[in-house]
């Protein structure tokens, strides 16, 4: 089987995940990769990497019009350029997408149609973001654009069940459409650390959109009464301490640290007793944060603030070392107290092994490869 994988590297941290999938598929098939940027590192097993960069002027226009997917003309222009340089004998073209990356779908559908081969889409985001993630007018506009290209797909995969259900509702299905859930494969590294003697609650990554930190700040305020030595550290967020001063007093803010993004989280994991995840402040939401996938492989208590109908709520139900809390101060306070107490002694984290296996590249890549074989059969 010959596969062309299309993705955008610029402005996307998820590109590393896609590249792991490319390398896994290359163990079974001939894989070429098409991107908007040159790769500095070789992709193991991949036959050819095609780079079709945009000029700075085009990049500027692209970012300017991307908000409403008005960048489609630029995407079409890039697709025509790309089609001229890639091989002409693929069995399947796969577009790897995220919320801000429509071009792989535009290009993938164009090349697949030219070659008369199968077209697949794998998206790690719900596109467009539903229920408040996108403004109503913007949502309707994006739905029309997104639906046009998803409707050309022979296969659609999303990174969890809730997201796939939403995505399949956004377009008219091509006859014989196949679909599946492909979890976002996690890094291989497992962190087995000694018990922390600090009462440190650690949140890593950005806070944006519908993720609301105010329940956390209110719960932490109460936590300081019970544990005056408790600490809250938030790494990689665009938040200032002054943004919290309507909830926390200047004295309480001394127990809070806001830090810049870091590529090495291990020293922070070593100090932390509790790892915190915050989902969108909605009862129903299709997103699963990427940070919790990393948290799973760290022997630390996890507290997840989430809605009632979410991937987190369903996936981690019944776990002793993953405490699920509702979007309110009381629930979060009780969950943090329990996690701090449990995290003071060694816990049995082996309960996470099945879900860790489900997120492994071997498991995800194996499912993907089986699906692709069925698709071209």
Is residue 194 included in any domain, yes or no? no
Residues 302 and 323: beta-carbon distance below 8 Å: yes
DSSP-derived letter for residue 91 is: S
Is residue 174 included in any domain, yes or no? yes
Domain residues for the domain of 244 are 200-356
Do 371 and 335 reside in the same domain of the chain?
Answer: no
Question: Residue 122 corresponds to which tokens in the numbers above?
Answer: 């794998």
Bridge partners (DSSP) of residue 6 are 34, 95
Is residue 193 included in any domain, yes or no? no
Cis amide linkage into residue 277, ω under 30° from 0? no
Question: Residue 245 corresponds to which tokens in the numbers above?
Answer: 């001063």
Do 163 and 240 reside in the same domain of the chain?
Answer: no
Task: Tell me the CATH number at 250.
Answer: 3.40.50.2000
pLDDT of residue 200: 98
Among left, alpha and beta (phi > 0; psi -120 to 50; other), residue 149 is alpha
Residues 103 and 8: beta-carbon distance below 8 Å: yes
- Strand 322-325 relative to strand 92-97, pairing: unpaired
Is residue 367 included in any domain, yes or no? yes
Taking Cα atoms as reference points, which of 136, 128, 276, 155 lies closest to residue 213? Answer: 276
Do 259 and 305 reside in the same domain of the chain?
Answer: yes
DSSP-derived letter for residue 345 is: S
Percent helix, strand, coil in the chain, to 5, is 40, 20, 40
Do 166 and 20 reside in the same domain of the chain?
Answer: yes
pLDDT of residue 211: 87
**Long-range contact list for 73-80, CB < 8 A, 24+ apart?**
74/103, 75/102, 75/103, 75/106, 75/107, 76/106, 76/110, 78/36, 78/52, 78/54, 78/103, 78/106, 78/107, 79/103, 79/106, 79/107, 79/110, 79/111, 80/110
Do 366 and 306 reside in the same domain of the chain?
Answer: no
Q: How far apart are CA 238 and CA 247, in angstroms?
A: 18
pLDDT of residue 68: 53
Q: Cα–Cα–Cα angle for 198, 199, 205, nearest 5°?
A: 100
Do 88 and 151 reside in the same domain of the chain?
Answer: yes
Average pLDDT per run of 10 along the chain, which is 377 residues long?
90 79 97 88 92 77 59 83 95 91 91 97 86 70 83 96 92 94 88 95 86 93 97 86 79 91 89 96 90 92 96 95 97 98 96 95 97 96
Do 28 and 136 reside in the same domain of the chain?
Answer: yes
Is residue 190 included in any domain, yes or no? no
Do 335 and 366 reside in the same domain of the chain?
Answer: no
Do 349 and 372 reside in the same domain of the chain?
Answer: no
Do 348 and 258 reside in the same domain of the chain?
Answer: yes
Do 128 and 66 reside in the same domain of the chain?
Answer: yes
pLDDT of residue 62: 63
Q: How far apart are CA 313 and CA 317, in angstroms?
A: 6
Number of domains in the chain: 2
Is residue 195 included in any domain, yes or no? no
The reported pTM is 0.90
Q: How far apart are CA 168 and CA 207, in angstroms?
A: 27
Q: How far apart are CA 272 and CA 254, in angstroms?
A: 17
Do 139 and 241 reside in the same domain of the chain?
Answer: no
**Long-range contact list for 176-182, CB < 8 A, 24+ apart?**
177/153, 178/154, 178/371, 178/374, 178/375, 179/155, 180/155, 180/367, 180/371, 181/157, 182/122, 182/157, 182/158, 182/364, 182/367, 182/368
Residues 314 and 289: beta-carbon distance below 8 Å: no
Bridge partners (DSSP) of residue 4 are 32, 93
Can you tell me which residue has the tokens 């639906």?
147
**Long-range contact list for 12-17, CB < 8 A, 24+ apart?**
12/98, 12/100, 12/101, 14/98, 14/124, 14/184, 14/290, 17/124, 17/184, 17/185
């Amino acid at each position: 089987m010959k596969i062309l994988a299309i993705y955008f590297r610029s402005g996307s941290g998820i590109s590393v995940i896609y590249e792991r999938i490319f390398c896994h598929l290359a163990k079974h098939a001939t894989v070429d990769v098409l991107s908007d940027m040159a790769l500095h590192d070789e992709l193991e097993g991949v036959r050819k990497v095609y780079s079709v960069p945009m000029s700075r002027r085009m990049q500027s226009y692209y970012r300017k019009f991307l908000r409403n997917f008005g960048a489609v003309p630029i995407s079409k222009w890039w697709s025509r350029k790309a089609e001229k340089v890639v091989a002409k004998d693929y069995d399947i073209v796969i577009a790897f997408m995220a919320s801000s990356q429509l071009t792989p779908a535009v290009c993938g559908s164009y090349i697949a149609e030219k070659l008369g081969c199968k077209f697949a889409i794998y998206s790690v985001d719900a596109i467009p973001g539903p229920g408040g993630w996108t403004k109503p007018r913007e949502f309707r506009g994006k739905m029309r654009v997104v639906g046009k290209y998803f409707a050309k797909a022979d296969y659609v995969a999303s990174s969890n069940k809730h997201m796939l259900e939403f995505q399949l509702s956004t377009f008219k299905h091509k006859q014989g459409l196949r679909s599946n859930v492909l979890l976002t494969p996690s890094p291989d590294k497992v962190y087995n650390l000694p018990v922390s003697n600090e009462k440190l609650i650690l949140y890593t990554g950005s806070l944006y959109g519908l993720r609301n930190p105010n329940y956390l700040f209110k719960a932490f305020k109460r936590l300081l009464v019970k544990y005056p030595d408790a600490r809250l550290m938030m790494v990689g967020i665009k938040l200032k301490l002054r943004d919290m001063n309507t909830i926390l007093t200047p004295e309480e803010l001394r127990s809070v640290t806001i830090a810049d993004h870091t590529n090495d989280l291990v020293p922070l994991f070593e100090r932390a007793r509790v790892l915190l995840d915050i989902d969108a402040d909605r009862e129903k939401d299709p997103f699963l944060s990427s940070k919790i996938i990393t948290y799973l492989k760290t022997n630390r208590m996890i507290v997840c603030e989430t809605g009632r109908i979410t991937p987190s709520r369903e996936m981690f139900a019944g776990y002793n070392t993953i405490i699920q809390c509702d979007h309110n101060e009381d629930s979060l306070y009780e969950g943090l107290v329990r996690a701090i107490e449990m995290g003071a002694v060694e816990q049995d984290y082996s309960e996470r092994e099945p879900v860790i296996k489900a997120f492994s590249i071997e498991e995800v890549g194996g499912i993907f490869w089986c699906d692709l074989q069925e698709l071209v059969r």
